[in-house]
Structure 1
Amino acid sequence: MATYAIGDIQGCYQSFKRLLKEINFKPSRDTLWLAGDLVNRGKGSLDVLRYVIDLGKASKQVLGNHDFHLLAAAEGLRKLRNSDTLEEVIKAPDAKALIDWLSQQPLLHYDKHLGYVMTHAGIPPIWKLKKAQMLAAEIEKLLSSKARKEFLENLFGNEPLCWSDDLEGEDRHRSIVNYFTRMRFCQADGSLDFTSKNDVASAPKGYAPWFSYPSKVTKDTEIIFGHWAALEGHTGVKSIHALDTGCVWGNHLTAMRLEDRKKFKVAAVKQDLI
């Protein structure tokens, strides 16, 4: 019986199945934690969603920025880009069930017993764990309500760049989602930068990787995140684990066994790539 956290799958179904074989995953015995971005850019987004849904309680997943993009596109609120591979999902006969399931997934998963919390992009240094849980729950409530379409319609954008407890409405919701799903570089006060997606050396002046600041969360638990392929799975911080290793870019898909932090990886399967 083991728990494995896996970085961004992004529709790389064959690579995902290869990794599950590598770790000898048994859904009757083991549990997966999936760090968001289940879909997009790889060729098998539909297969990934169906497989994960079928796992039921054997899989815990959080939403990433590409998952939000799918939710909005399925509502007709965002146009698909040339690099997107989501049309197959949107046109699938079971599309409504898939989208409804996706909209019910959390932004944050925490297991006190195992001692880990997982979000797609991380948790900013300005938030404690309880704060992060509370803010994630705000968004989860909206996504599972009749207000989902209105929420998604006003979700996308960069502003505001810095969190404030005084934020309200669309700005508040957008800020929460951006921290959980798009964050890379920030300032000590939590101000975000979205201009750079490269490695830590590319930090804009006055900014640093969010995990380089003292964390209010790691006093209580370790953090698992994906989203940032340029890190190649390394943060340099013992209690903060980066698991996106760029499978969709032809690199690797990585899993970490939470009980002993052992990592497993497989090379991307070419059939997954556009």
Structure 2
Amino acid sequence: MPSASASAYAIGDLQGCCSSLLSLLEKIDSTTPNSHLIFVGDLVNRGPQSLQTLRLIRALGERAQAVLGNHDLHLLAAAHGIRKLHRSDTLDEILNAPDRDELLDWLRHRPLALCLQDHLFVHAGVLPQWSATKTLSLAQEVADVLQGPNWVDFLREMYGNQPLHWNDDLQGNDRLRCIVNALTRLRFCDKDGTMELAAKESTGISLPGYLPWFDAPQRQTEDVTVVFGHWSTLGLIQRPNLLGLDTGCVWGGKLTAVRLADRALLQVSCPQAQRPG
């Protein structure tokens, strides 16, 4: 696996904004040609070019890595009739594409977490009681199922908010669902790591009794830099051990890339804001 060097960039949520991605890649290549790219998930949906986005990232080959986001999992579930398309979804082009099976197979083989040197990549968050090593191990448990022969059966059991609290004794679909919810949906938890999954993204960071997952006391991933997306209302977050990269491109904000070695920032604007839904 490539190391987090001067030629590695982390890139925020794309959500089908392929034209913005192409503009961002031009900026990256003019600064650091052939740099390694790590996407924090939600490659597709809500934006106007989900099919083109998925094809482009897949075509980048070994140059690019991506973790799965909740919208990516939604695509996999919708493709098998497990979830209905929402009114604001923009996935029909993928579902009707001649190469849909190849694209979906590529997508389901993406991890839910990955690590490059001291950077831990997830889409949404990490429960405070999980270390980086444990996060990667738990993410691999889900990947083993998604990449196995019974992956569609798991998708049927993946949705739901329970259990809200992690326990090492969890087994089966309850265990896998808790892992998926933390890595792809988490925004708030209480000081003991119990997840709050009902609040919409537009909610601020002041839910009574809850706090952003990254502010939980004694968070076990404080010894690494966690890189995440999923929370566009937060905007860009740059702390010594935290990078929040969802800057709301699909909602008329910006698409963001950060060079891992020195925190150099590159951004492009979305040419056309989409309507939240």
Task: Note whether the superposition's TM-score is higher than 0.5.
Answer: yes
- In the alignment, which of 164, 169, 180 is matched to residue 167 of structure 2? 164
Q: What does residue range 84-163 of structure 1 map to in structure 2 within 5 Å? A: 84-112=89-117, 115-163=118-166
- Say yes or no: does 1:70 pair with 2:72: no
In structure 2, C-alpha distance between the alignment counterparts of 1:120 and 1:202, rounded to whole Å: 18
In structure 1, C-alpha distance between the alignment counterparts of 2:252 and 2:108, rounded to whole Å: 28
Paired-residue identity, %: 43
Contact 2:12 2:247 in 1 (8 A): yes
In structure 2, C-alpha distance between the alignment counterparts of 1:24 and 1:75, rounded to whole Å: 37
| Corresponding residue of 1:178 | 181
| Corresponding residue of 1:194 | 197
Contact 1:199 1:231 in 2 (8 A): no
Q: Which amino acid aligns with 2:46?
A: R
Give the direction of change, closer, same or farther, for the CA distance of 1:108–1:267 in structure 2 (3 Å limit): same
Please identify, of 244-253 and 192-201, the stretch whose mean Cα deviation from structure 2 is larger. 192-201
- In the alignment, which of 211, 224, 228 is matched to residue 225 of structure 1? 228
Contact 1:200 1:209 in 2 (8 A): no
Look up the SS of the partner of 1:4 in the other structure: strand
Post-superposition Cα deviations, 1:158-191, rounded to whole Å, max 9, x if no partner, equal: 1111111111111111100000000000012210
| Corresponding residue of 2:252 | 250
In structure 2, C-alpha distance between the alignment counterparts of 1:98 and 1:25, rounded to whole Å: 29
In structure 2, C-alpha distance between the alignment counterparts of 1:146 and 1:253, rounded to whole Å: 36
Contact 2:28 2:35 in 1 (8 A): no
In structure 2, C-alpha distance between the alignment counterparts of 1:203 and 1:273, rounded to whole Å: 27
| Corresponding residue of 1:263 | 265
Q: TM-score, normalised by structure 2?
A: 0.93
Post-superposition shift, 1:254? 0.5
- Say yes or no: does 1:215 pair with 2:249: no
Look up the SS of the partner of 1:24 in the other structure: helix
Gaps of 5+ in 1: none
Look up the SS of the partner of 2:142 in the other structure: helix
Contact 1:40 1:86 in 2 (8 A): yes
Post-superposition shift, 1:234? 2.3
In structure 2, C-alpha distance between the alignment counterparts of 1:187 and 1:161, rounded to whole Å: 11
Q: Which amino acid aligns with 1:37?
A: D
In structure 1, C-alpha distance between the alignment counterparts of 2:98 and 2:205, rounded to whole Å: 43
In structure 1, C-alpha distance between the alignment counterparts of 2:222 and 2:100, rounded to whole Å: 38
Give the direction of change, closer, same or farther, for the CA distance of 1:207–1:246 in structure 2 (3 Å limit): same
- Say yes or no: does 1:44 pair with 2:49: yes
Q: Which amino acid aligns with 1:218?
A: E
Contact 2:18 2:49 in 1 (8 A): yes
In structure 1, C-alpha distance between the alignment counterparts of 2:11 and 2:39, rounded to whole Å: 5
- In the alignment, which of 2, 11, 26 is matched to residue 6 of structure 1? 11
In structure 2, C-alpha distance between the alignment counterparts of 1:15 and 1:125, rounded to whole Å: 34
Q: CA RMSD in A?
A: 1.7
In structure 2, C-alpha distance between the alignment counterparts of 1:109 and 1:190, rounded to whole Å: 21
Look up the SS of the partner of 1:241 in the other structure: strand
Q: Which amino acid aligns with 2:240?
A: K
Post-superposition Cα deviations, 1:199-246, rounded to whole Å, max 9, x if no partner, equal: 784432110000112321231x211000000101126x4211100000
Alignment length (residue pairs):
269
Post-superposition shift, 1:27? 9.5
Look up the SS of the partner of 1:23 in the other structure: helix
In structure 2, C-alpha distance between the alignment counterparts of 1:195 and 1:145, rounded to whole Å: 30
Q: Which amino acid aligns with 2:136?
A: Q
Contact 2:78 2:84 in 1 (8 A): yes
Contact 1:255 1:265 in 2 (8 A): yes
